[in-house]
Amino acid sequence: MKPAGGAQDRPTADDAILARVRAIVTDIAGAGRVPADAGPDTPLGEEGFWLDSTEMLEVILACEREFGISFGADTSPGVEGVSTVRSLAEAIRIQVT
């Protein structure tokens, strides 16, 4: 049994990125499309937040502004494989570290 309040209980930079990305997605999706059980692995598109291509672009641009990054054609890795809040947060984490 690990003691409460240990290092594992402290938020990490990854947690902060994930929380910020989730807030952006939630804001753009709107309260009516946020699943009750939404989590980091909830799809951004169908069966999840139901974001269309225009809204996905809005999410990407909002994340670029929020984190001071750019997902360009020459950026590796890009956002092509992004399908969940977690995968978007991971693409951002790679850019900021």
Residue environment code for 32-61, b if the CB has 16+ CB neighbours within 10 A, otherwise e: eebeeebeeebbbeeebbbbeeebbebbbe
Domain ranges in the chain are 12-31+39-96
What is the predicted pLDDT for the residue at 71? 83
* Non-local CB neighbours of 88 within 8 Å, separated by 6+ positions: 21, 25, 44, 59, 63, 79, 82
Structure confidence by residue, pLDDT tens digits, 46-56: 999 999 999 99
Structure confidence by residue, pLDDT tens digits, 57-97: 999 999 999 999 988 766 555 667 789 999 999 999 988 88
What is the predicted pLDDT for the residue at 1? 45
Structure confidence by residue, pLDDT tens digits, 1-38: 444 554 455 557 789 999 999 999 999 999 899 999 99
Looking at domain 12-31+39-96, does it have CATH number 1.10.1200.10?
Answer: yes
